[in-house]
Amino acid sequence: MSESSPIERLFSAQGRRLSPPQITGLMSAALEQPDLLSLAAGFTDTETLPLQEVLAAVESLHATPGPPEYLQYGTNRGRPLLRSQLAARVTRQDRRQDSLDDASVLITNGSQQMLSLALQTLCDPGDVILVERPTYFVMLELARGLGVEPRSLPYRDDGTLDHPALDRMLADWTESGEIRRLKAVYLVSYFSNPSSHSLPEAEKLALGETFARHNHFPALIEDAAYRDLFFDSPYPARSILALPGLERFPLLYAGTCTKPFATGLKVGFGICPDELWRDRMLYLKGQQDFGTANFNQAILEQVLSSGAYDLCLERLRTHYRGKRDALLETFESLGLASLGWEWQPPGGGLYVWLRGPASLRTGSGTEFQKRALENGVLYVPGDLCYGDRPPGNQVRISFGVLPRKLLAEAAERFVRTAAESTD
């Protein structure tokens, strides 16, 4: 761009900082090569979209006596029934004795808007959030867009959180004063995007204890977007909202109604028991769009009440379990493991996280990526999913979007790439 463009002199610090999403490069490669099969996109499978259920919900709204208030503006915080349904749902999932308060629920434009409102109310440029290794890459971009530094929580070699190391880190930060800049800890704790890893209760509790020892209480943000998308059984851990000992932390649980139903409806939610924080996030939402589409919320109320939502979920679980199996069977039968690759079979979500041979480099612009494109397959380089010190040899594979047959074909192309990259 020419330096004389008048807009460049007008940009805010944030405007200057903003850069294209890292995934853009991948997507343009996909557009240029139409026979490419994408194991990259986190989209859901078009086959499973609940067309009948959405139509039935709209017809049922239509048949409801009275004026169609759901075609009118709703409130900024969201529809009361939907908020109550979601509070009850998470209350059940967390096996709570008491009930979550409906007032703590906010409805947002997907769970992404919830994360965005949370960071905007907490973080100034130069602030720090702690993230898992690996973590959700759109959260990293959101943080960096705000000038916020996402840093990795410390891990042991076996992939579990290293609490003594965190303890030392917090002691150092307390001494240097840097701890004031630490605003939040972000956990993708159920069938994580990207790793499909889930976080045991004991790990969440131990995190809380470590912070409490240093008398620092950053916001704990738990992203539960894939909690409902388990294959065999729900992950048993209760959420941060239900764990004794975390009450002193400002808590936010972010979820979505539409990832496991119809992403095109785009309704997410947050549960935030901290009234002061919740109000600020609502004021900000009031300025940024003053409310999520009322119609979409009304459709969700219908399908949650009628049971259609949960029936769809059952269908989805079977469907994605089948696709996971198809993908992993291809990897196994073609010998990906014998080429030095490792993975854990996911118990839910849409992703398989692959660790390649230690010396392999899978990032953007690497030989491996070029070869994969030549072989007609797209993946997300694992490096994009790290706050810092990316390991270089990892890959996110999504089995969400491709139908089963193409999924097997794409997996075959991936294994061929892996074989060609082994010396």
Bridging pattern class, strands 251-256 and 268-271 = antiparallel
- Report whether 175 contacts 24 (CB < 8 A): no
Residue 349 near residue 191 (C-beta atoms within 8 A): yes
Closer of 62 and 95 to a copy of itself (Cβ): 62
Do you find a cis peptide bond into 20, omega within 30 degrees of 0?
Answer: no
Q: At what angle do helices 201-213 and 163-176 cross, to 10 degrees?
A: 30
Angle at 102 between CA 77 and CA 50, to 5 degrees: 75
- Rg from Cα positions in the chain: 22
Please identify which residue in the block is written with the tokens 């800890």: 185
Task: Write down the residue that tokens 């709209």 correspond to.
Answer: 58
Give the total residue count for the chain: 423
Secondary structure (3-state) at 38: strand
Integer Cα distance of 274 and 118 in angstroms: 12
CB–CB of 397/39 below 8 Å?
Answer: yes
Could you say which DSSP state residue 153 is in?
P
Minimum distance from CB of 229 to a copy of itself (Å)?
Answer: 15
Cα 287 to Cα 289: distance, rounded to the nearest angstrom:
6
By the 8 A CB rule, do 362 and 381 touch?
yes
Nearest CA to 145 out of 25, 21, 27, 253 is that of: 21
Q: Count other Cβ atoms within 10 Å, centred on residue 7.
A: 8
Beta carbon nearer to a copy of itself, 127 or 228: 127
CB of 108 to a copy of itself, least distance (A): 8
Closest CA to 152 of 401, 242, 162, 93: 162
Name residue 130's beta-bridge partners: 151, 185
What's the rounded Cα separation, in Å, for the pair 279 and 28? Answer: 40
> In angstroms, rounded to a whole number, what is the distance separating the alpha carbons of residues 107 and 78?
5
SS3 78: coil
